[in-house]
């Protein structure tokens, strides 16, 4: 019984980037950019953004869910003077999620059922992600680059929607009719730009590297980290 309670209590709690923004009185996009920068530097764990719908304008945005340790790193980068407020928020969060030891047989059976549901959901998620993981591993192993159309096809999305989303997220931009990556993403090795000439006209073609394929798959939520 104690082992079951320990396993349940060890399920990691997280704090959303929106909560962090509220704690430090910052704009949520600024908090997300800080998180992405810290991920790139390896200062915090690699998190996959998730979608949420704003209650007022009903628009869909991205947010991160950060563990306790990494939330302190983020706040230290943003506004270290708000560390005490972050401590209070974590105490509140942990208090709400505290689990008492079952005192009766029905309580123990309910806890066991909850844990079984968690295991089943996790196994389901792993099964769903397996084809995506195999796809990324297969393309990374080939060490070949892929066009926008090829990547969109294997990701199961329309090429036009795929490109539009990357333009919105400031990953790609258009210049003289060419679709090019922003320098920061090219420097990370996610893209390569091939140049050539056709019918007397010079052109540039942006292609995904194997690292870029793995990265965009995770960013789109095709592959998620399983805790």
Residue span(s) of the chain under CATH 3.30.1370 come to 2-96
Q: What percent of the chain has pLDDT over 70?
A: 67
Pick among 3.40.50, 3.30.160, 3.30.1370, 1.10.3470: CATH of 2-96: 3.30.1370
The residue ranking higher by pLDDT, 124 or 77, is: 77
Average pLDDT score over residue span 73-86: 82
42's torsion region: left (phi>0), alpha (psi -120 to 50) or beta?
left
Confidence bin at 180 (pLDDT 50/70/90): very high
pLDDT for the residue 225? 40
The conformation of residue 102, written as its DSSP 8-state character, comes to P
pLDDT for the residue 58? 79
Average pLDDT score over residue span 92-105: 63
Please, what sign has the CA dihedral across residues 77, 53, 22, 95? negative
pLDDT for the residue 213? 81
The residue ranking higher by pLDDT, 35 or 196, is: 35
User: What is the spatial distance between Cα 73 and Cα 37, in angstroms, rounded to a whole number?
Assistant: 12
Tokens 């019984």, residue located: 1
Cα-based torsion angle of the residue sequence 44, 45, 48, 50 in order, rounded to the nearest 10 degrees: -60
CA distances to 20, 50, 51, 72, 205 from 25, rounded to whole Å, are 8, 22, 22, 15, 42
Residue 221 scores a pLDDT above 50: yes
Helices 210-219 and 105-142: angle between axes, nearest 10 degrees: 150
Beta strands in 105-190 (DSSP E): 172-175, 178-181
pLDDT for the residue 7? 36
Helices 83-96 and 17-24: angle between axes, nearest 10 degrees: 140
Cα-based torsion angle of the residue sequence 90, 91, 96, 98 in order, rounded to the nearest 10 degrees: 110
Confidence bin at 17 (pLDDT 50/70/90): very high
Structure tokens at 74: 């983020």
Given a contact cutoff of 8 angstroms between Cβ atoms, the answer to whether 78 and 34 are in contact is: yes
Average pLDDT score over residue span 146-157: 84
pLDDT for the residue 132? 52
CA distances to 145, 146, 179, 195 from 198, rounded to whole Å, are 20, 20, 16, 10
Beta bridge partners of 191: 208
Structure tokens at 47: 């998190």
pLDDT for the residue 227? 35
């Amino acid at each position: 019984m104690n082992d079951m309670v320990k396993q349940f209590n060890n399920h990691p709690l997280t704090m959303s980037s929106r909560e962090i923004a509220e704690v430090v009185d910052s704009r949520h996009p600024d908090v997300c950019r800080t998180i992405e920068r810290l991920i790139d530097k390896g200062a915090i764990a690699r998190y996959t953004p998730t979608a949420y719908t704003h209650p007022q304008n009903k628009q869909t945005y991205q947010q991160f869910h950060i563990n306790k340790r990494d939330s302190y790193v983020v706040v230290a980068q943003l506004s270290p003077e708000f560390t005490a407020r972050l401590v209070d928020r974590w105490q509140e969060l942990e208090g709400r999620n505290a689990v008492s030891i079952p005192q009766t047989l029905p309580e123990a059976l309910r806890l066991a059922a909850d844990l079984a549901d968690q295991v089943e959901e996790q196994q389901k998620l792993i099964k769903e992600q397996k084809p995506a993981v195999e796809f990324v591993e297969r393309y990374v192993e080939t060490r070949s680059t892929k066009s926008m159309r090829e990547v969109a096809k294997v990701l199961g999305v329309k090429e036009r929607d795929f490109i539009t989303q990357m333009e919105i997220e400031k990953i790609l931009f258009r210049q003289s009719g060419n679709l090019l990556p922003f320098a920061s993403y090219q420097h990370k090795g996610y893209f390569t730009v091939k140049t050539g000439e056709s019918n007397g006209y010079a052109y540039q073609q942006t292609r995904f590297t194997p690292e870029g394929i793995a990265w965009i798959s995770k960013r789109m939520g095709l592959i998620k980290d399983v805790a």
